[in-house]
Structure formats: structure tokens, C-alpha cells
Amino acid sequence: MTFNAYAGALQALGEIEAAKSDIEWISDTLERAPAWRPSVHLKKQTQEALRIIGDLEKRFERKLVVTLVGPTGSGKSTLLNALARIDDLSPAGNRRPTTRGLVILAQMEGDAQGIAAEIGEAHVRIETSPAASALDHVLLIDTPDTDSTEQENHIPLVKKAISLSDVLICVFDSENPKRKDHIDFLEPFVRVFDGESLICALNKCDRQDETELKEEILPEIKSHVSSAWDRPVQRMFCLSGRRHLRDPDWDPKATPKHDFDQFGELRELIFGTFNRAAYVIDRRVENAKQIRNHIHEAARRFAGEDRKRLLSVKERMAAAENAAVKNSLEGLQGKDPRNLTGVNVLLYQRLSQRWLGPVGWVIAIWARLLIFGTGIAAMMRFGSPVSQVAGMVSSFRHFKESRAAIAEAGKGERVDAALRDYRFTLMRDWPDIAEKLIRSRFDKSVRDMKEAMPNQEGLGDEISTIWNDALDAEIDRASKALSGFGLQMLFNLPVLALLSYVGWITASSFLEERYFSGNFFLHAFLTLLIILFLCFFIFQIIVRLGAGAERIAHRAFQVVKRRTEEIRTVAANPISEQIEAVLDLSGSGALAETPRADNGSAPPAITF
């Protein structure tokens, strides 16, 4: 193998692997939506598609397999004999069924041994001929009839042969071209073949009037097959296989009516176009892509049928969840005096870290007094603002009551109450949501609220986190607003001015060797304390008016309300995740709805 050929083969294998990866993504997405009923059928299709592509990879280096398939009397065996230029290569005649096993035309017997082994050597006959010596890259297979008296034995052989094929030649009888049983039989199989890998051959055309053949029979059979297979027929040859036998053995009463015959074009296609190494690789790559496209379109079509309804359900669920979250957070907010006192303590803690000067020292002392006693231990134990509140408040109660308060906070009863509020609110809307889901082909099990409830522990953590973050941010914002440089200078200035004045008098008198009595310093100290506490008292009034505990809690809750309106959901809701999976399958664009059964009919199968 040349370097270019080797590089081309590697690239082709990469493209086949990419097709597999796309199908695996669809399979994984379907796994995320087990309650969506079409997922069961689609999942089976993805598994079969992966199996087919896996088989295609295994035979990547084998010759191109071209298989003739058709019903009794369509002339498959005669067509193979004509292509091989041996009249009796594959049994032909009026005895039905004419072909009882598979006949493989190969350049060398060893070329077909792999296929024979997979199908069963007892059912395969390998033939060579002078014509086959030109088949450097092709194996040509004639299959048994699909509708004979021995079809129960033949159909498994035909299916296996098709599953190992790269090109399928579907042979129709021009005298009975619209045989529905044959078209329906082939419908699941043709889906795995790319357009150029699927060929239709209308045989015995010489027995029809040429004008009628071209103007009526041929257009009608093309339209009929395209409609039945839900895909256009790119290639349909009008043939007379018998004409190209060495001894056509015409019935004197049924000689050819015209010379219009595309047998030469079909033979050139097989022995010329197909019979190239590069074409073999291209066909297998394109067939893999065709399988991928079929699975993708089936999943996209079925998901697209439910897309609009599921988008509506998604919006309804998001609104219900947000309302439930707001109610639960409102309960978590509460009006407990201990909670509000704790918010005040947290605020003074932050202020003590930001303020400087004499007033800052008083704020720090006040913050320490508020958290005096067992509240300090509680603060060290709990990291979130809400938990800190419960611990800090314990300093205002007796020792036993403090211990009980800490234990209660540890149990998270306020969060449990919030979760109950969440569930009760969601339960009011869920029956209507569940019915809409069922109309979108979800299983009836979605009526059970347990199927829709997120993980309780995770939801509790989410609720606590949202409220704690909002409260913490609002306390921090208020402390920053109350710790501006101008405000600190305003309240510290009277104390600093008096302190500076007393210091200046004391220093100047000391230098002049005049010494004050102790009463001077006592009065100076008392005056400083009075001014300092007066400044602190006025500051407390400003804190109460501008950043009281109730005001901070209210602002935090408003932040939470805005946040819940922006997010889709608070916690991982199992049903929401399944809806997202179906929407992922439907693609980004809206799809037109196609007729379907209300019970969620299966997508077109590609099974062998």
C-alpha cells in the first residue's frame, strides 16, 4: 500500500469513528430521558447502528461487496449470469426457488472465504469466471428469493448478506414492478445505504412497449419506491439480463420488443467505477455517514414532534420551581427576633473590621460584647451567616437554652421547613405539568411527584446557599456604606479634636513646668468618654435607620427574588433533565410536526 493510500485509509477510519461517536452521543442523550417513550425504540436503533458500523470497520480491508436482492422471478440469477458471462453460473429458470443459497462471484476463491464463513459455508457457493478475473476490488453476490416457498430459510441468509454488503442492487420485475411485499421487505435495509450505494434495476424491460416503459412504467416505479422508502431513487437501470446470455433461449412468442437496454451502463458501473480501491473506501465511509444521518434524523424528527410542547412545559416548570423557591426562602427569611438580632451582630462585626480611630475602638468593643459567651463558640462552629446568627444569639440566653439553640441550628430545622414549603408549592402545579408531559409522550409515572423532586439534600444546600450568599452580600454592602472615609472622619473628629486639645494643653504646661492636678485629667477623661459615647450613640441611630436588621433581611430577600427569576431551576430536577435531553435531540431549530400515532410509534427500523 502506498503512503497516500495508507493516509487515505486512516482518514476514512477516522471518519467512520466520528460517525460512531455521533451515534454514541445520541445513545447517551437517550439514556438521560428514560421516561420519554420514543427513547426505548430509538435506543434500540442506535445499538443496531453501532453494531452495523462495527461490522463495517471489521471488514474495512475486504473487497467491496455488491449484492443482488429481489423477489421470485425478478431475474437476479439471470442478471448475475449475464454479468459473469456464464449462462449457468447461478441457477436460473422456471423452477422456484431457482437460487437456494448464496452464489458469490469472486476473482479468487480466497476473496470470498471471509463472507462464506460468516454466513455459513453450507449455504454459500463461490464461483469464478473469466469475467471475475477483472474484479480486483469487488465481490458480486446473488441471493435467494425473498418470497419463495422456502422464504423462512432464505430470509435469514438474505438479511445476513445485506448486512455484509456495501452496495445493494434491488432487482424489480418490469412485468410486476410494484410488488408491495418486496418493497416493504427491503425498506428497513435500504436506510443504511448511501444514495450511490443503493441501485434499482428494472429487469425484463424488453418485454414492455418502449414508449410505455419510458413514459409510464419507469416514472411510476420510481415514484412508488421513493414514496415507500421515504427517499429518492438516484439510480434505476432498465435492463434485459437475458439478452446478454450466450444462449438467451428466447421463447418464439416472447422475443424482445425493443433494444432499449442499460445493461452496459450497469456492468461498467460494477466492473469500472466500483472496481477501484479508493471507491471501496469511499463507499464504506459514506455508508457509515448514511447510518449516522438516519439515526440523527430519526431522533431529531421524533424529538422535534414534542419540542414545542416540551418548551412550554419547561417554562411552566421553571415558573413553578421559582415560585416554590421564593416561598421556601421567604419562610427561611422569617421574622424571628433572634434571627434579626444576629443580623445586627454580624453587621457590627464587619463594621469593627473597617472602622479606625476612637469610634472604631468602641464599635469593636460593642461587637465583642454582643458575641460574648457561648456565642463565640457557636460562631466558630458555623460558617454560614444564618448558622452564625443562631450561634451568636445564644449569648442572650441561659446556658442550657444556648446549647439547645446550637443543637437546633445544627439539625437544620429551618431548612427542613423551607423544603416543606418548596414541596407544597410545587405540588399545586404538578398535576397540570404532568398531564402536559404525558401529552409529550412521557411515561405516566411522571404523575408521581417523587419522580420530579430533586435531591432533598442538594436542594436544601442550594436554598441555604442562595439565602446565605444574599444575606452575607447585603451585610457586607451595608458595612461598606457605613464605613466611608468621610463618615469615619465626621464621627472621629470631635473626639480627636478634644483629645488633641487636651494633649496640647498638657504638653505645653509640662514644658513650662506647670503641672495639672489629677482632677484635670479625670474631667478630661470623662469629657472624652461623653463625647465618644455620644458619637457612638448617634452612629447607632444612623445604623438603625439606614441598615437595620429588618432592612438588611428585606434587601437580601429582594436580591434572592431577582436571582431566582434569572436562573432556570434551583436544583437538579430529574424531569427537567430529561426534558433537556429531548430538546438536545431535537436540535436548535424548530421542526415541523409530522403525523404520528398518539401511543409513540417506533421510528423506521434499520435492523437486520
Q: Please report the pLDDT score of residue 457 as a whole number.
A: 58
Does residue 409 register a pLDDT over 80?
no
Nearest to 68 by CA among 139, 13, 121, 151: 139
Report field, pTM of the whole predicted structure over 0.75 = no
Residue bearing the bigger pLDDT, 422 or 587: 587
Q: Report, as an integer, the average pLDDT of 282-309.
A: 92
SS3 17: helix
User: How many angstroms separate the CA atoms of 405 and 360, rounded?
Assistant: 31
Lookup: cell for 107: 476473482
Q: What is the DSSP letter of 176?
A: S
Return the top range by mean pLDDT from 200-214, 373-387, 504-518, 594-608: 200-214
Does residue 65 register a pLDDT over 80?
yes
Please report which confidence band the pLDDT of residue 501 belongs to, taking 50, 70 and 90 as the band edges. Answer: confident
Q: What is the residue extent of each domain of the chain? A: 62-275, 307-586
Q: What is the DSSP letter of 67?
A: E
User: How many angstroms separate the CA atoms of 558 and 95, rounded?
Assistant: 87
Long-range contacts of 553-558 (CB under 8 A, 24+ apart): 553/333, 553/339, 553/340, 553/343, 553/471, 553/474, 555/474, 556/333, 556/467, 556/470, 556/471, 556/473, 556/474, 557/329, 557/330, 557/333, 557/470
Lookup: cell for 531: 463625647
Nearest to 557 by CA among 342, 346, 328, 383: 328
SS3 603: coil
Nearest to 274 by CA among 587, 468, 122, 64: 64
Dihedrals phi, psi of 548, to nearest 5 degrees? -70, 165
Long-range contacts of 430-434 (CB under 8 A, 24+ apart): 430/320, 432/316, 433/313, 433/316, 433/317, 433/320
User: How many angstroms separate the CA atoms of 278 and 403, rounded?
Assistant: 82
Q: Report, as an integer, the average pLDDT of 523-551.
A: 87
Please report which confidence band the pLDDT of residue 36 belongs to, taking 50, 70 and 90 as the band edges. Answer: very high
Cβ atoms of 100 and 122 within 8 Å: the answer is no
Lookup: cell for 11: 482518514
Please report which confidence band the pLDDT of residue 24 belongs to, taking 50, 70 and 90 as the band edges. Answer: very high
Quote the distance between the C-alpha of residue 297 and its chain's center.
15
Q: Please report the pLDDT score of residue 338 as a whole number.
A: 52
Range with the poorest average pLDDT among 183-192, 322-331, 560-569: 560-569
Domain 62-275 CATH (choose: 1.10.3720.10, 3.30.2320.80, 3.90.1150.10, 3.40.50.300): 3.40.50.300
Helix runs in 371-512, H state only? 374-381, 385-393, 399-411, 413-439, 449-452, 456-481, 485-511
124, β-bridge pairs: 102
Lookup: cell for 94: 422456471
Q: Please report the pLDDT score of residue 331 as a whole number.
A: 62
Lookup: cell for 48: 443496531
Cβ atoms of 82 and 262 within 8 Å: the answer is no
Residue bearing the bigger pLDDT, 136 or 557: 136
SS3 259: coil
Q: Is the four-CA dihedral 372, 378, 381, 387 of positive or negative sign?
A: negative
Cβ atoms of 291 and 49 within 8 Å: the answer is yes
Cβ atoms of 213 and 238 within 8 Å: the answer is yes
pLDDT in tens, 479-488: 898 888 998 8
pLDDT in tens, 359-407: 889 888 888 887 664 344 444 444 455 555 554 444 444 333 333 333 3
Please report which confidence band the pLDDT of residue 595 belongs to, taking 50, 70 and 90 as the band edges. Answer: very low
Nearest to 393 by CA among 346, 461, 430: 346
